[in-house]
Amino acid sequence: MEEKPNLHAGEVVTKRVPPEKEVHDALTLARQYGPAIGIGLVLGLALILFTVFRQQQKAASEEAAFALFQGAQTADQMQLVIDQYPGSAAAPMAKLSLASRHFRESRFDQARDHYSQFIERFPRHMMRPAAELGLAYSDEALGRLPEALEGFRSFRIAHPDHYLTPVAHLDEARLLGKLGRVDEARAIYESILDDPDHAWRMQARTDLLYLEKDVRAAP
């Protein structure tokens, strides 16, 4: 019985021609009219063959890369995804996961390297903002406070509407406090508290209290 399109779901089921049939039809045409059509058909056939097998190869490679990424449990296994399938969609996710794993395990130098490499290799990836923040946190963990401060500030400027921007703004204020730039830190907290709709007002109030406590405790 013929399957009908599911119009209520807004989808129309189309019957796809298997790649093997495309190749078979092209070969039949070449055998029948080859002497008349000549070199143009040969080149066209070569293009069809290349396109079909390229698509099949890419699909198989993506599937294998994703399967390997899903099963990766160790840093070496994640690195294997990156090395074996560098052009796959799984590679950047493996790179980011590897950086995060190094950070959680206090290998901050390695984490920083992987976050930096992610930004360089995948500059337009949707997860780049996460890598930028990871880089700033790695700098802070390594004691590179001015670099970390610049990282948080650059994030806020580059991504004004990102959902992580308020977090970066709070981290910017926190580092200003660590660096002794109390007035600048206080100004950020107060700007957040002045916005009644700011989702992070409670955190800003808490951080400001800690800042004032540290100021009073300072010799």
For every residue of 86-125, DSSP letters joined together read TTSTHHHHHHHHHHHHHHHTT-HHHHHHHHHHHHHH-TT-
d(CA 102, CA 52): 40
- What does the pLDDT read at residue 58? 61
- What does the pLDDT read at residue 28? 57
- What does the pLDDT read at residue 1? 47
**pLDDT tens-place values along the chain, 219 residues long:** 444 444 444 444 444 445 455 545 544 544 454 444 444 444 544 554 445 445 555 677 778 877 777 777 888 888 888 888 888 888 888 888 889 899 999 999 999 999 999 999 999 989 899 999 999 999 999 999 999 999 999 999 999 999 999 999 999 999 999 999 999 999 999 999 999 999 999 999 999 999 999 999 987
DSSP summary character for residue 199: T
Q: pTM surpassing 0.85?
A: no
d(CA 76, CA 196): 47
- What does the pLDDT read at residue 67? 79
- Longest Cα separation, the chain: 95
d(CA 118, CA 124): 10
- What does the pLDDT read at residue 24? 53
- What does the pLDDT read at residue 187? 97
Q: Which of 145, 134, 86 is nearest to 110 (CA)?
A: 134
Do 131 and 158 form a contact (C-beta atoms < 8 A)?
no
Distances in Å between the alpha carbon of 148 and those of 135, 142, 219?
8, 9, 26
Q: How many residues does the chain have?
A: 219
- What does the pLDDT read at residue 59? 72
